[in-house]
């Protein structure tokens, strides 16, 4: 069972060094780029 858990963790978890995490967290605080905002306004194919 631990091999399965290891496989799941490897596919679903991201490990960052403190500096990398700080950079990532700072990006989350910035405004979303215009292209990303436009994508969010588009109708989804499943709608």
36, part of any domain? yes
47, part of any domain? no
pTM of the predicted structure, to 2 decimals? 0.53
46, part of any domain? no
Number of residues that this document lists for the chain: 47
**32 lies in which domain range?**
2-41
22, part of any domain? yes
Q: For the segment 1-47, what is each residue's pLDDT rounded down to a tens digit?
A: 699 898 999 999 999 999 999 999 999 999 999 999 999 999 988 88
Nearest-angstrom CA–CA distance, 16 and 39: 28
Distance from CA of residue 20 to its chain's centroid?
Answer: 13
16, part of any domain? yes
For the chain, give the longest Cα–Cα distance. 45
């Amino acid at each position: 069972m631990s091999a399965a858990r290891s496989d799941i963790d490897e596919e679903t978890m991201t490990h960052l060094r403190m500096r990398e995490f700080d950079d990532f967290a700072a990006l989350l605080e910035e405004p979303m780029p215009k292209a990303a905002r436009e994508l969010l306004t588009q109708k989804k194919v499943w709608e």
